[in-house]
Amino acid sequence: MTATQQPMAQRFVGESVKRSEDKRILTGTGNYVDDVQLPGMLHAAFLRSPFAHAHITSIDVSAARQVEGVVAVHDGASMQGLLAETAQPPGIFGPAPVKFTLLASDKVRLVGDPVAVVVATSRYIAEDALQLIDVEYDELPPIATVEHALDESRPAIFEDLGSNVVTGPRTNTHGDVDGAFARADRIVTANIKVHRHQNVPMECRGVVADFDTDSQTLTIHGSNQGVGIAKMVLTGQLGMPPDTIRVLCGDIGGSFGLKIGTGREEIATAALSKAIGRPVKWIEDRNEHLAFSGQAREETLDVEAAVTNEGDILGLKVSMIVDTGAYPGMGAMLGGMVENMMPGPYSLEGLEFTFRAVTTNKATYVAYRGPWASETFCRERIVDMVAKELGMEPLEVRRRNIAFQGDNPGKMVTGRTLKSATARESLEKIAELVDLPSFRKRQAEARQQGKHLGIGMATYIEAAPGPRADGGGGLGNEAMRMRLDDDGIVRVFTAQMPHGQSHETTLAQIAAEEFGVPMEMVKVVVGDSDQVPFGFTGGSRSATMAGGAALVNARALREKVLEETANQLEAAVEDLEIVDGKVGVRGVPAKAKALAEIATTATAAGTALEVSQAFDGGQGGWSGGTHCAIVEVDVETGLVDIERYIVVEDCGKLINPAVVDGQVRGGVAQGIGAVLLEKSAYDPDSGQFLAGTFMDYLLPTTTEVPRIETHHLETVPLDPDVNFRGVGEGGMVVSPATLCNAIEDALSPFAVKIEEQHLPPLRILELIGALDD
Amino acid sequence: MKPPAFDYIAAGSLDEALTALAEGGEDAKVLAGGQSLIPLLSLRLAYPSLLVDVNRVDELSTIERTNGTLRIGSMVRHRTAERSKVIADAVPLITAVMPYIGHVAIRSRGTIGGSIAHADPAAELPAVALALDATINVRSAARGERSIAAADFFDGYFTTTIEPDEIVTSIDFPVAAPGTGVAVEEVARRHGDFAMVGAVAAVGPDGTARIALINVAEKPVRATEAEAAFATGASVDDVAAAATRDLDPSGDLHASPAYRKKVAGVCVKRALAKAREGAAK
Amino acid sequence: MNVELTVNGEARSAHDVEPRKTLADFLREDLGLTGTHLGCEHGVCGACTVIVDGDAVRSCLMLAVQANRAEIRTIEGLGTPDDMNPLQESMRDSHAFQCGFCTPGFMMQITALLEENPSPTEDEVRETLSGNICRCTGYESIINGVLKAVGA
């Protein structure tokens, strides 16, 4: 044993440590935003447009003001007066590039657009008052589809934009596209359509804004993925100095990317509290949520694949158009993300990528778990189409095209190194688990009996956080503070804002192990803009960035504490050890001091036992994997049953295996939902929203999601210290392609080419021609 | 999503309920299980002036078999019906559809009478009542009791021939002959959802069938031509064709008219096959 | 109207309860029992599930006034953070939940299920829980928790 080694450090990383969150989650003692009840608190409700596109010609709130219990009513114009003069129309990550008022005042741009707000002593009364607000609308031709958006005879949703094309067309070329297409034996084409669907966390959006008139300070109880972001937005919108706003988030009932931004209603509620001088609560209801909170994924990709007769995919030409909805969100940013990831782990020689984004009268395009996912869907569907055309197994086409590793890892034609990508390994593991030849036999026999089984697989890589480029740079920084407090507790102040990811447990696992104390002596502090550094949860960054920050800070804090202890005990640092929350000289356990005592003594002497190191991602690395599904399609009803679903994934070292499995399975369930059940449907003529309740927007339940087998490769350490990589989004990124590949395989006797992602029973019967007579 | 205001009375007896309903006028509504009505209130799609709550009217909760008739009180909860051996023995088709009605928690409160009075063509019990030629007993304060044959009861989407001042008190079902096989075949997006389309069937020991279709029209449809074809020994495909030939279903987000028409035939085929199997046992 | 009922074994009451107030809102606001959650307010998601007179019920589909003289059990009645009941412990062992918003509804539906059927099969568990929606887990960990609780 060397002088600096500690005896039998307790191992937490890699164990499915029980969650600290569960003590309150399982007992109903969590603190979600709707649980916040403050003295004198009022309730807000928003009046929303029933039309997709219309001018507001008049609005009369006078009758609403008369209702007993109503404290305030504002329309779009008067709400603007409550905001700072310098307030800009809010976009998703900063000011929006077009002009609009916080509540719609001159025109409404989608069904659900808020036009007025009532504040009353109860939500019940507020909703009563809404019905007394008189609004006159002058309907405009709706922009209900991409075709409408491209039709220059239709009016622009934003006059200052001039048209409904937000971006593009712009084309980028990577590698040797002309060469790839010249050498091709054939071109395989497809028009891939991903449908509009959405995050739908079980908790809708909401906020309690509490403005204190005496101190002129605002406390926000929110449900957001980053308290610092919410604070930043509100300082700008309300014109209040940053040190007068505090944002608190307690427990959050899911988000999947939705709650990264601060909604217009949340800003309005804060402004109302400031104007009234009382706390105001706004809780979004499910109808508002489905219609307005945000939607994603409505993308169409026209693809040409340059292919050899042996199955090499030499190059791709892709033309993508995204329907970003009304009001700026992240839709316009999608092009770059999808383009950069399009090659995936394949050795493509050339990629030409054209991108356009249009605005329509639909809910704003928001980040939804793996926003770039259409690149995987598109690519993995093309691989299967190529295989089909060439009469090859899709597995073989994948084997042929996945870039090699070894000493000279490939590079994506869009520039990023494929170093650490284990797509080939995960593919081979799936092949091992599935026994393709015997499935094909069973499939053939089943077809004789009129049963239609199918198998599909899909592979992906994900920049969670992605490998550091040769020459460094590119992973960003994660801030964190860590402190040994006088009570002997190690407090971890993280910018992460967990909403199901179990950070309070996983970050404590890392910190406890590295510092050398039991888990109970570590507390992860989240959700207070007065206490935590700036940052957010998103992009599957927390495992690497926050996990790494926890590791380096715990190490630094341990050093600092041991140095302080060495001073206090007049011992040598090398002779000290931390065991069971006490620190002392090795071999003299009776004289060991509680960490609380060391801390208290240090504080009295003016020494803070605190560290604050940003982590830059280390060497980073790819996450990724391969999924495989076996399905049965009932060709008389169009219903799909998933017989088996297997995941092989690689996110490096697992911090908490049970947490990882939960993330993977939850993502796959959302993919099942996307393909079989979920659609944010709009009427293509009127722009009327058709999926405003859970009877029309269908989420998968226990009878639609099978057991999902998970296998973890935990490979390729790149970094000496931090090899945790993100896993939150992968399941959702690759599962739709996996399922669509399987369904198309099941339907091969019908010679169906599936180019879309949404395959409800009606669609399947249409595709196989069962409804033709 | 909060309900609008309404007056409310928790009736302690049937007479009290009937009087309150009559005095409440056109916009007074009966509150039974509430599983269909309360969502409408929360979505502000309904604005009753008065709710007459009949959940404490015990006389509406009995199940009685007398000779060839099973009388089920209108306030018998789905969950009670689901577990009832009396019902399973007398009218097995009811027992067969129960697991398809929503989910467990819905069935804790929802009632047999409520479902039938709500008359959703996508629901199972109206189709069962029609298939079995049930009789719906209703009462009003002014005119007393009357009975309506199922064939005359369902009048359109969520519409029946009940008068505004009448309450459904019970439903009479003919007891199934021993050796009757029953089946439900419905196609729903998920387990427990309303059927996109479906069929209920009872095949008697005498080789005759009773078939009714779910969600193919504005009310449940009795497939009389299909029943006739079945009785003459026609092939299953011909029976299914007879059932769907004259259908003109409407479309919605989940199913098109063509889908409903086609898959109704599949449901009839499969239901008959299962019912026949059950009859043969 | 007056509402007098028993919640988690304790007599509770309130006056001036509007007939239109849902049982869910009554529990949360009037009685301060915010463990029961609202996920949809139209009876589909199951997050609001409580036990009324022994049966699992969606509290958003009941009026508070209908619960007069009823015995209600909510998630707060199962156990406390430092003294969880065996079902809660099994769910914790199995990492059943993630964000926790659907959890109260699941816990009460499972409690009702196990009181009626102490040894359900996996199929029976899936069938019973098909009326509760979770967006985070894909359900497998929840089902594992239930099976663990019954010793399967």
pLDDT, mean of residues A82-90: 96
DSSP string, A288-328: HIIIII-BB--EEEEEEEEE-TTS-EEEEEEEEEEE--SS-
Q: What angle do CA A671, A424, A662 make, to 5 degrees?
A: 35
Does some domain include residue B141? yes
Q: Are residues B240 and B146 in the same domain?
A: no
- Let me know whether C101 and C44 are in one domain: no
What would the pLDDT profile of B247-280 be if each residue is shown by its tens digit? 999 999 999 999 999 999 999 999 999 999 999 8
Question: How far apart (Å, rounded) are the C-alpha atoms in residues B225 and B207?
Answer: 15
Instruction: Report the SS3 class of residue B228.
Output: helix
CATH number where B12 lies: 3.30.43.10
* Cβ neighbours for C80, distance < 8 A, ≥ 6 positions apart: A27, A29
Q: Which CATH architecture has domain A33-140+200-293?
A: Alpha-Beta Complex (3.90)
Residue A6 pLDDT grade (very low, low, confident, very high; cuts 50, 70, 90): very low
Judgement on whether residues B251 and B155 belong to the same structural domain of the protein: no
Quick check: A701 and B194 CB within 8 A?
A: no
A272-318 pLDDT per residue, tens: 999 999 999 999 999 999 999 999 999 999 999 999 999 999 999 99
pLDDT, tens only, B21-47: 999 999 999 999 999 999 999 999 999
**pLDDT tens-digit series, residues A604-647:** 999 999 999 999 999 899 999 999 999 999 999 999 999 999 99
Domain end among C34, C58, C77: C77
Q: Would the CB atoms of C19 and B51 count as touching at under 8 Å? A: yes
Cα A436 to the chain's mean position, in Å? 33
Q: Are strands A280-283 and A42-48 parallel, antiparallel or unpaired?
A: parallel
Please provide the DSSP assignment of A493-557 as one string: EES---SSS-HHHHHHHHHHHHHT--GGGEEEE-SBTTTSPS----TT-IIIIIHHHHHHHHHHH
Partners of C113 on chain B (C-beta within 8 Å) are: 104
**Do B62 and B162 share a domain, yes or no?**
yes
Distance CA A163, CA A149 (A): 8
A1 pLDDT exceeds 60?
Answer: no
Mean pLDDT for all residues in chain A: 95
Strand partners, B213: B199, B221
Q: Return d(Cα A533, Cα A231) in angstroms, integer.
A: 12
Of B190, B255, B258, the CB nearest to A698: B190
Structural domain includes residue B207: yes
Task: Please check whether residue B189 touches A, CB under 8 A.
Answer: yes
Residue A38 phi, psi (nearest 5): -115, 150
Interface residue of B6, B7, B29, B38 to substitute, partner C, most C CBs within 10 Å: B38
Give the per-residue pLDDT at A591. 87
SS3 content of chain A, % helix, strand, coil (to 5): 30, 25, 45
Question: Nearest-CA neighbor of A713 among A752, A645, A657?
Answer: A657
Same domain, C7 and C53: yes
For residues A143-166, one letter each, b for 16 or more C-beta atoms within 10 angstroms of the residue's C-beta and e for the rest, the string is bbbbebbeeeebebbbeeeebbbb
Quick check: is B267 in a domain?
Answer: yes
CB atoms within 10 A of CB C67: 24
Task: Please state the rounded mean pLDDT for residues C25-54.
Answer: 98
Per-residue confidence band for A580, with pLDDT thresholds at 50, 70 and 90: confident
* A296-471+618-767 fold: Aldehyde Oxidoreductase; domain 4 (3.30.365)
Band (pLDDT 50/70/90 cuts) for residue A93 is confident
- Give the whole-angstrom CA distance, residue A694 versus residue A674: 14
Got the DSSP string for A634-689? -TTT--EEEEEEEEEEE-BS-S-HHHHHHHHHHHHHHHHHHHHT----B-TTT--B
Q: Which chains touch A (3 or more CB pairs under 8 A)?
A: B, C
For tokens 């309130």, name the residue.
C14
A688 φ, ψ (degrees, to nearest 5): -65, 140
- pLDDT of residue A2 exceeding 60, the answer is no
For residues C99 and C67, membership in a common domain is answered with no
Q: Which CATH number characterizes residue C7's domain?
A: 3.10.20.30
Angle (CA) C112-C113-C117 rounded to 5° is 125
**Of the candidates C77, C95, C114, which is a domain's last residue?**
C77
Query: What is the per-residue pLDDT across A519-543, written as a single tens digit (0 to 9) for each?
Result: 999 999 999 999 999 999 988 889 9
Q: Which of C41, C61, C109 minimises the CB distance to B34?
A: C61
Q: Provide the pLDDT for residue B261.
A: 98
CA dist., res. B67 & res. A193, Å (int): 61
Q: Is there a contact between B262 and A765 if contact means CB atoms under 8 Å apart?
A: yes
Query: What tokens were used for C67?
Result: 């619960």
pLDDT of A404? 67
The pLDDT-based confidence of A94 (bands split at 50, 70, 90) is confident
User: How does pLDDT run across A109-130, given as a tens digit for each residue?
Assistant: 999 999 999 999 999 999 999 9
**CA–CA separation, A135 vs A239, rounded Å?**
30
Q: What is the pLDDT of residue A741?
A: 98
What would the mean pLDDT of B119-129 be, rounded to a whole number? 98
Q: Which of B6, B39, B106 sits opposite C20 (nearest CB)?
A: B6
Count of other CB atoms within 10 angstroms of residue A636: 18
Rounded Cα distance between A656 and A543, Å, is: 10
Which chains are adjacent to chain B, needing at least 3 Cβ pairs under 8 Å? A, C
Confidence of residue A719 (pLDDT cuts 50, 70, 90): confident
CA–CA distance, A655 with A725 (Å, rounded to integer): 9
Predicted local distance difference test score (pLDDT) of residue A473: 62
Q: At what angle do helices B257-280 and B236-244 cross, to 10 degrees?
A: 140
- Chain A neighbors of B2, CB-CB under 8 A: 123-124, 127
Identify the closest residue of chain A to C105 by CA–CA distance.
A28
- pLDDT band for C46, please (50, 70, 90 cuts): very high
CATH of A22-30+476-612, one of 1.10.630.10, 2.60.120.620, 2.40.50.100, 3.30.365.10: 3.30.365.10
> Any idea which residue has 């109206």 for tokens?
B126
Cβ A719 vs Cβ A619: under 8 Å: yes
Can you tell me which residue has the tokens 């021609």?
Answer: A769
Q: Note down the domain range covering C120.
A: 86-149
Q: Which of A406-420, A454-468, B108-122 has the lowest mean pLDDT?
A: A406-420
- d(CA A146, CA A196) in angstroms, rounded, equals 12
Residue B189, min C-alpha distance to chain C (Å): 13
Tens of pLDDT, residues A382-392: 999 999 999 99
Domain holding B252, by residue range, is: 181-280
Residues of chain C contacting residue A698, judged by C-beta atoms under 8 Å apart:
none
Domain count, chain C: 2
How far is the C-alpha of C81 from the C-alpha of C84, rounded, in Å?
A: 6
Q: Under DSSP, is residue C40 helix (H, G, I), strand (E, B) or coil?
A: coil
pLDDT tens profile A537-575: 988 889 999 999 999 999 999 999 999 999 999 999 999
In angstroms, what separates the C-alpha of C69 from chain A's closest C-alpha?
24
Q: Give the percent of chain B with pLDDT over 90.
A: 98
Yes or no, beta carbons of A28 and C39 under 8 Å apart: no
As a whole number of angstroms, the distance between CA A359 and CA A98 comes to: 12
CA distances from A498 to A202, A257, A388, A495, A509 (A): 15, 12, 43, 9, 15
pLDDT confidence of residue A405: 63
Higher confidence at residue A661 or residue A580? A661
B2 inside domain: no
CA–CA dist A203, A253 (Å, integer) = 5
Vertex A297: Cα angle to A291 and A301 (nearest 5): 140
**Alpha helices of A27-176 — where are they, by DSSP H?**
62-65, 76-80, 123-130, 146-150
Last residue of a domain, one of B155, B174, B193: B174
Task: Supply the pLDDT for residue A10.
Answer: 76
Is A5's pLDDT higher than 70? no
**Model's pTM, two decimal places?**
0.97
Q: Is the dihedral of CA B235, B236, B237, B241 positive or negative?
A: positive
Side-chain-facing half-sphere of A734: CA atoms under 13 Å: 30
Burial of B252 by CB count in 10 Å (0-12 exposed, 13-18 middle, 19+ buried)? middle
What's the confidence (pLDDT) of residue A3?
A: 36
Q: Does B251 fall in a domain?
A: yes
Q: How confident is the model at residue C144 (pLDDT cuts 50, 70, 90)?
A: very high
> Are residue B14 and residue B45 in the same domain, yes or no?
yes
Per-residue DSSP letter, A35: G
**Residue A298 backbone class (left: φ over 0; alpha: ψ -120 to 50; beta: rest):** beta
Closest CA to A593 of A607, A579, A604: A579
Same fold, A22-30+476-612 and A296-471+618-767: yes
- Interchain contact, A762 vs B254, CB within 8 Å: yes
Which of C43, C60, C77 is a domain's end point?
C77
Which pLDDT belongs to residue A471? Answer: 64
List the subunits that have 3+ CB pairs under 8 angstroms with C.
Answer: A, B
Class of residue A86 by CB neighbours under 10 A (exposed 0-12, middle 13-18, buried 19+): exposed
Model pLDDT, residue A468 = 87
Give chain A's radius of gyration (CA, Å): 28
Judge contact between C141 and A662, C-beta under 8 A: yes
Same domain, C92 and C68: no
Q: What is the mean pLDDT of residues A134-161?
A: 97
CATH code (residue B155): 3.30.465.10
Q: Does one domain contain both B164 and B90?
A: yes
At C59-84, the pLDDT tens digits run 999 999 999 999 999 999 999 999 99
Torsion of CA B120, B123, B126, B128, to 10 degrees: 170
pLDDT band at B143 (very low <50, low <70, confident <90, very high): very high
Measured CA to CA, the distance from residue A247 to residue A230 in angstroms comes to 7
Q: How many domains does chain B have?
A: 3
Q: Is B104 on the interface with C (CB under 8 A)?
A: yes
- Quick one: pLDDT band at residue A716, thresholds 50, 70, 90? low
Of residues A735, A722, A546, A750, the one with CA closest to residue A633: A750
Q: Answer positive or negative: Cα dihedral of A673, A677, A682, A688.
A: negative
Return the SS3 of B83. Answer: helix
Q: Would B1 be classed as within a structural domain?
A: no
Contact A695 B44 (CB under 8 A): no
**Helix, strand, coil % (nearest 5) of chain C?**
40, 15, 45
What is the residue extent of each domain of chain A? 22-30+476-612, 33-140+200-293, 296-471+618-767
